[in-house]
Structure 1
Amino acid sequence: MTSPTDDTASIADNDKARTGAFTSRRPISRWTVLRALAEIRMWWRDGVIADLDHVATIERVRGESLLTSRYVFMTAMSAGIAILGLLLSSPAVVIGAMLLSPLMNPIIGTGFSLATGDADWLRRCGKALLAGSAFAILFCALIVFVSPLQTVTEEIAARTRPNLFDLLVALFSALAGSYAVIRGREGTIVGVAIATALMPPLAVVGFGLATFNWTVFGGALGLFITNLVTIGLTAAIMARLYGFQSDLTHRQSRFQSLGIIAIFLALAVPLGFSLRTIAWEANGQRIVNQEVAEAFTDRARVDQPIVNWAAQPVTVSASVFTPEFNPDADSEVATRLAERLGRPVVVTIDQFQVGTDPGAAEQAALAQARAREAAEASERQIAALGQNLALIAGVERSDVLLDRDSQRAQAAARPLEGLTLAGYRELERRLESSTPGWTVELRPPLAVLPTIAVGDEGLDADNARRVALLAWAAQRTGLRITLSGGSDSLDAVTEALGSAAASFDTRASGNGDTVSAAWSTAATPQG
């Protein structure tokens, strides 16, 4: 039987033995590390690089990265689809433009030409990139310039604030794209094209140019340059790692590597600051939501506060549905937000009193959300009505009168060759039917008026429509019309006009069965 003293001694001996074992272990030598690195390098050279057909890969990349008629055509199609998708704020259409965009090929080619030191190839890739980018920007600017839609949509705004995450997306996409090209798996380029989204930023640059919005122009151009440079330099690094031979000397290669690192740092620093600003605003939004909610009881419901970070001071507006009013809510929330954000804040909270029943605030908030959604839909419908009326009238949008109180839209049409008076009326009817509840009044030009034939049994359906057209023309223009013909025929036409006959003058001439119509002005009819 052992004593406690013996157990203590045994434990001490074991500790000494373990300590001795640790102290007797030799640290990993530098030669061991170098040998391991040499083995990895040998495996990479013999097991990975040796399987590649470098000549075929270079020829394939070179053939796809130069300026060709196919490249120009696909750039134009991609740019057109991209700008239309952005104006319509349709992500699906924008993705379609990404798939068609051929800009990835010359950018990958630029990276491979840098890696191989082929100055002529680099120059030709640069020419293709410059020509494609300039053509895309100008083509998009032309579409925006002639388009009635020139508002900054969510899809456009999303491409005006590049940050560090955009650089990382371009980096990872470039690694995947370069690997796919080197290993002969170009199908992966489809996903890479969607991830980096090279064409949409160029389309937004064209939008900014056409609308003279230099904030949008500069932000989108920064995003495109970030993607372009990151993909090109990453492709160069990947090409060198996979053993594509370079004519550069060892010193030149070292300078090239240092230059690539310097460019990455130059991009990362401002993009990092941009990301920091975005993160600060996101955290500030969370603080605003919290402080506004804490100013009211638990039964209150707060709509998402709207914060304008660019204003001086920062402005916050919110709607709250609460069973109990808080008259000091604006000042209280403003004081607390100024302390937490470190910036002066102006707060405006619209309070709506609701019942004390459970769920009353939620129901009121839901009702307002539905009303707001309906109002926004109505505004979009009204905006579309104004644009369409300006289009069919051939005038500027500012020449269209929209009266929201009486729900009436009016415009004076310009003469359009080949379009008759009936054509103007049909355009008005179609536009009015597309906007229920609104009255559309399209004032036609002084076109030639129709002649009406009166039969033995009076007016047939076709001539009755002509009489209605005359009444419409008199009402829309506000001008008098003179009717000439036999007295019986005039009586039949005047009876068909009904109350509109007050806008017509009659001139009896014989007993003919036709009635001609002419404007009672000195103006010359057009058409």
Structure 2
Amino acid sequence: MQTSSEVPGTSGADTSAGSPDRPAPQRRRVGIDYVLTALTRWWTIEVAGTVDQAAVIEKRRAECELTARYLLMVCMSAGIAILGMLLSSPAVVIGAMLIAPLMDPIMGVGFALAVGDFSWLRKSLRSLFIGVGLAILFCALIVVFSPIKNVTPEIAARTQPNLFDLMVAIFSAIAGAYAVIRGREGTIVGVAIATALMPPLAAVGYGLATLNSTVFSGALLLFVTNLTAIALTATAMARGYGFSTSLTPKQSRWQALFIFGAFVALAVPLGLSLYRIGWEANTTRQINSVVAEVFDGRATVREMQPSFDADPLSVTATVYTPQIIGDAEQRASRLLEEQLGRPVEIRLTQIRYGTSAQAREEAELGRARAQEVEAARQARSIAERLAILAGVPIEDVTIDREQRRALVTARPLDGATLAAYRELERRVDATEPEWDIRIEPPLRALPQVRLSEEGEDDALAPTAEGRRALNLAVWAQRRVGIPLRISGTERQLAAVRGILGEAQVDVVEEVTEPETGDEPRAIEVGWAIPEG
């Protein structure tokens, strides 16, 4: 007979037998504890216990050494990557991924963090940083001497990383770390292709060589994302597989917090980038839907070019329609403004299809409008490139479509000389021979004009270097509009007076006398900035 002090379901017999009278939460907790204990035992014995940790660490440590082979493979992979990107050849770019020399030191960083071997960590980081720097400089050198310097689709694809790139890197890193731990390193090839370490570095080198900050920063963020994901995921996998570590429990907790914080720090900007990409895709669908609605679903929209950074949002498109609608642009703009909640400017080129004479005339008119749209697209493309090169918003670029002129005042960039700004202008101008491209540089120091004696009368004349400096000064004066100040003896000034006169630039001369008997062989050139 049960006494009043006994509670049903709490006796030893009831607990061991799983009495039906036991409270449900307690039974559930016992079941969960049993499952967790079983899983932990299985993982420790059957999975982690079968890994030869010493062999894995020894091999990882050996492959993190800074060797001549490693540096050679870095250069070869970087060269293949940048050439494939300049040629816009995905097959060649994939070939660069297959070499994957940077995977070894990155995996080394991850495993060194896991086991707490800071000597190994320093060696891995040394190999990694030297390899990264060498790859960037080698790619930049190839771009400098390359006749092709356009931003190809392969380069552009590495300039806007998003949250999906981080997820790809994490999943690929899990596969790669598993392959390393379990001795199935053939999988590393697939991981190298998925995470694509070298193409982003090649794009960084391109951005450095062309002074394109947008390409440089975007590609660098993608590389850092892949690098961090691989290294920290390898650390987490090694700890999960029970690799012996010298870290204390407190250090292990800090390590876990660091890994979590690093992933969060990457996820925030990449998530914002993914949100913007999604918004642009959704907005493009809305634009198509609105234009189709304006034409009662009987029109076909082609060559749509939305400009999301413009204010108001700008859209150009060609519409093939059986009937020309006079106020189609106004109606589409109003509908889009209601849906998007922001000003929208739409320019539609309507081309009527048919066989009648009137239709042919309208088709001719449509083609003329299409040419106008193409001219607008070209002008927009020039403005976007100039804005990127000059480091200013696109609204600061002045475009004269009738005269085919483009002008922008460049923002001062650290380390950029007048020669650099002139080279940027030359590159854009070379791709648009029908346009007059002008980049107005910030005020920078002008180089000296070196002279040498020529002829029997020992007259002074600019050397080859001096002529280049003089041409640069002439270009800068025409762009900036401030007179040049040239300082030298009368004999020196006479050597350049004719050249500057032919160039028709404003010059202020300062005649000086040498302090010693030796006449200097260079003319000082500066800006004659008015006081006050």
Fold-level similarity (TM above 0.5): yes
Matched, 1:257 2:256: yes
Instruction: Check the 8 A contact 2:78/2:139 in 1, yes or no.
Output: yes
Deviations, residues 40-83 of structure 1 (Å, cap 9, x unaligned): 11111111122111101101111112211111101100100100
- The residue number in structure 1 matching 2:96 is 97
Residues 77 and 97 of structure 2 are in contact (CA less than 8 Å); yes or no, is this contact kept in structure 1?
yes
The answer to whether the Cα contact below 8 Å between 1:323 and 1:356 also exists between their aligned partners in 2 is: no
Q: Give the TM-score normalised by the residue count of structure 1.
A: 0.64
Deviation at 1:29, TM superposition (A): 4.3
> Do structure 1's residue 85 and structure 2's residue 84 form an aligned pair?
yes
| Conserved? CA contact 1:86–1:153, under 8 Å | yes
CA distances 1:369-410 after superposition (whole Å, capped 9, x unpaired):
xx99xx9xxx9xxxxxxxxxxxxxxxx989989999xxxxxx
- Offset, 1:322: 1.2
Count of equivalent residues: 357
Using the alignment, how far apart are the partners of 2:431 and 2:134 within structure 1? Answer: 37
Counterpart in the other structure of 1:108:
107
CA contact (8 A) 1:107 1:129 kept: yes
Residue 343 (str. 1) matches residue 342 (str. 2): yes
Distance 2:309 2:112 in 1: 43
The alpha-carbon distance between structure 1 residues 398 and 23, as it changes in their structure 2 partners (threshold 3 A), is closer
Post-superposition CA distance 1:11-50 (Å, at most 9, x none): xxxxxxxxxx998773334343223212211111111122
Q: CA deviation at 1:319?
A: 0.2
Residues 457-496 of structure 1: pairs in structure 2 closer than 5 A: none
Cross-structure match for 2:173: 174
**Alpha-carbon RMSD:** 2.9
CA 1:343–1:403 in 2, change beyond 3 Å: closer, same or farther? closer
Sequence identity (%): 55
Distance 1:327 1:317 in 2: 16
Do the aligned partners of residues 402 and 221 (structure 1) sit closer, same or farther apart at CA in structure 2, a change above 3 Å counting? Answer: closer
Per the alignment, residue 473 of structure 1 pairs with none
How many angstroms apart in 1 are the aligned matches of 2:188 and 2:431? Answer: 50
Q: Which residue is equivalent to 2:36?
A: 37
Secondary structure at the aligned position of 1:161 is classed as coil
State how 1:12-27 maps to structure 2 within 5 Å.
26-27=24-25
Q: Which residue number corresponds to residue 231 of structure 2?
A: 232
Are the aligned partners of 1:306 and 1:317 in contact in 2 as well (CA < 8 Å)?
A: yes
Q: Any idea what the Cα deviations from partners look like across 1:328-349, whole Å, max 9, x if unmatched?
A: 1111111111111122111000
| Post-superposition offset of 1:356 | 7.4
Q: Quickly say closer, same or farther: Cα 1:182–1:279, change in 2 above 3 A.
A: same
Q: How do 1:68-467 and structure 2 match up within 5 A?
A: 68-355=67-354
Alpha-carbon displacement from aligned partner over 1:156-205 (angstroms, at most 9, x marks no partner): 11111111100000000000000000000000011100000000000000
User: How far apart in 2 are the matches of 1:136 and 1:157?
Assistant: 19
Once the two structures are superposed, residues 288-317 of structure 1 have per-residue CA deviations (whole angstroms, 9 ceiling, x without a partner) of 111111111433221141111111111100
Contact residue 65 and residue 105 of structure 1 kept, 8 A: yes
CA–CA distance in 2 between the matches of 1:22 and 1:332?
A: 72
CA–CA distance in structure 1, aligned partners of residues 303 and 289 of structure 2: 11
Matched residues in 2 for 1:122 and 1:300: separation?
Answer: 62
User: Aligned letter for 1:56?
Assistant: A
Matched AA of 2:235: A
Q: CA–CA distance in 2 between the matches of 1:81 and 1:64? A: 22
SS of residue paired to 1:203: helix
- Contact kept, 8 Å, 2:292 with 2:298, in 1: the verdict is no
Q: Distance in 2 between matches of 1:401 and 1:345?
A: 31
Assess, with a 3 A threshold, how the Cα gap between structure 1 residues 161 and 303 changes in structure 2: closer, same or farther. same
Query: Which stretch has the larger CA shift, 301-310 or 346-355?
Result: 301-310
Alpha carbons of structure 1 residues 154 and 110: separation in structure 2 relative to 1, 3 Å: same
Cα distance, 1:397–1:112 mapped onto 2, change above 3 Å: closer
Which whole-Å CA distance do the structure 2 matches of 1:127 and 1:339 have between them? Answer: 56
Q: TM-score, normalising length from structure 2?
A: 0.63
* Aligned partner of residue 129 in structure 1, secondary structure: helix
Q: SS at the partner of 1:305?
A: strand
| Whole-Å separation in 2 of the counterparts to 1:285 and 1:257 | 41
Shift of 1:249: 0.6
Larger radius of gyration: 1
